[in-house]
């Protein structure tokens, strides 16, 4: 199989097809305009394909073709180069310049090749031939590591999800009651560990396991209570892992492609509390606990990073805060109605509460990322619901 890819700046639209046919492609032709910008993207993509191919033990021949897309002479040269029976040639050009894609499609189809039209919303593609077209589902969805390689990014570090699962009971104990958790965090800040051990022995055992306090129940370090924010990310992961994402990273630090970053208002190195991928679409969750000093800035940060990951990216800001105005009929929250509306216009979902509700969070996750509970968790949730009804009606 030969794959002809039309290179352009928005490579996130190209890489699902590159990944889908990896292992089947023996010759990969990268087609790019002579403009220096396009040339840079082409050689960058070539490097990414080589890295991923080596990782998986595939070694396709990669060729580069440079043209002036406004030159009739160059187009005639390309048409001549692809003359003959090209039944094994597939054209991958999603998101490319319309005129260029149309001309190349004509050349490929005329010589019995096939044209791939990727649908990023549906994560499928139309396979076009001289006889018509068929709609095909993507069979190989990317994990986060492979996705980042093809994007030219690098995963610098992330938390061990195995360690998080091992700490599950302690995390659930600590965050099962938000009001209590905020009180415990305040008491830790005041170094009231003896009172904590007396009044909250189970929580103190959890804090010992999570290494916030040592074996003698003395706080580790000067500001162990600050780690509650990081532990909250781990707690949220335990909820997120129940859904059918293709891959999840926690506490992920990623170095973005510097050339791409220069055109967007984001940093080269970005940290994600929780990063997900589902059907080749990136999602991320920003976990906030306590008092957010800049909720509007959090919204705009999410929006700018979504732009980097393309139109299909999704984000959720999860904000659980202490109730600072319980005396008011409508307590004030960090994310008020106007900010939530502004976030909605940016396609940023908001979960904003004084407590954590598993059912409310499930609804937000399903809506924001188009995922569903895994089968085993779905059965578990149904069993709990039936048991709750049974207890309610005394059966």
Please calculate the CA angle 91-96-98 and round it to the nearest 5 degrees.
Answer: 100
Tell me whether strands 89-92 and 2-6 are parallel, antiparallel or unpaired.
parallel
Sheet holding 89-92, edge to edge: 61-67, 27-33, 2-6, 89-92, 114-119, 124-129, 132-137
What dihedral angle (degrees, nearest 10) is formed by the CA atoms of 368, 374, 379, 383?
Answer: -50
Please say whether the beta carbons of 58 and 92 come within 8 A. Answer: no
Q: Distance between CA 7 and CA 4 in Å, rounded?
A: 9
pLDDT of residue 259: 78
Residues 6+ apart with CB under 8 A from 64: 29, 30, 32, 42, 43, 46
Q: What is the pLDDT of residue 217?
A: 86
Mean pLDDT by 10 residues, the chain (395 residues): 93 95 96 84 95 95 91 89 92 90 94 95 95 95 97 95 97 94 92 91 95 89 84 97 97 89 79 97 93 80 90 94 76 80 88 91 95 87 60 56
CA atoms within 13 A of residue 319's CA, in its CB half-sphere = 23
335 touches 301 (CB < 8 A): no
pLDDT at 391 (0 to 100):
61
Q: Give all domains of the chain, ordered by start, each with its CATH number.
A: 2-140 (3.40.50.10770), 154-162+232-389 (3.40.1350.10), 164-228 (no CATH)
pLDDT of 378: 79
């Amino acid at each position: 199989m030969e794959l002809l890819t039309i290179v352009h700046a928005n490579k996130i639209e190209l890489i699902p097809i590159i990944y889908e046919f990896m292992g089947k492609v023996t010759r990969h032709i990268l087609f790019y305009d002579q403009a220096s910008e396009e040339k840079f993207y082409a050689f960058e993509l070539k490097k990414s394909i080589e890295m991923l191919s080596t990782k998986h033990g595939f070694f396709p021949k990669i060729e580069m073709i440079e043209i002036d897309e406004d030159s009739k002479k160059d187009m005639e040269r390309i048409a001549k180069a692809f003359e003959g029976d090209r039944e094994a040639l597939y054209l991958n050009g999603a998101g490319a310049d319309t005129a260029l894609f149309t001309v190349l499609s004509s050349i490929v189809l005329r010589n019995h090749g096939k044209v791939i039209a990727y649908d990023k919303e549906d994560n499928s593609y139309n396979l076009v031939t001289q006889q018509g077209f068929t709609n095909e589902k993507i069979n190989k969805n990317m994990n986060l590591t492979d996705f980042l390689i093809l994007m030219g990014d690098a995963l610098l570090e992330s938390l061990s999800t195995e360690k998080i699962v091992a700490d599950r009971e302690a995390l659930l104990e600590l965050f099962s009651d938000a009001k209590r958790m905020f009180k415990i965090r305040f008491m830790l800040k005041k170094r009231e560990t003896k009172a904590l051990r007396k009044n909250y022995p189970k929580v103190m055992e959890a804090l010992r396991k999570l290494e916030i306090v040592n074996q003698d129940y003395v706080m580790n370090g000067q500001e162990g209570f600050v780690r509650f924010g990081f532990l909250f990310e781990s707690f949220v992961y335990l909820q997120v892992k129940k859904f059918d994402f293709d891959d999840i990273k926690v506490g992920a630090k990623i170095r973005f492609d510097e050339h791409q970053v220069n055109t967007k208002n984001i940093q080269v190195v970005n940290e994600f509390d929780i990063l997900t991928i589902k059907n080749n679409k990136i999602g991320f969750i920003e976990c906030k606990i306590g008092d957010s000093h800049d909720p509007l800035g959090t919204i705009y940060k999410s929006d700018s990073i979504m732009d980097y990951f393309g139109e299909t990216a999704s984000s959720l800001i999860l904000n659980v805060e202490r109730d600072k105005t319980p005396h008011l009929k409508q307590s004030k929250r960090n994310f008020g109605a106007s900010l939530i509306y502004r976030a909605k216009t940016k396609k940023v979902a908001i979960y904003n509460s004084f407590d954590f509700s598993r059912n409310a969070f499930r609804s937000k996750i399903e809506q924001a990322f188009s995922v569903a509970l895994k089968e085993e968790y779905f059965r578990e949730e149904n069993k709990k619901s039936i048991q709750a009804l049974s207890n309610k009606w005394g059966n």
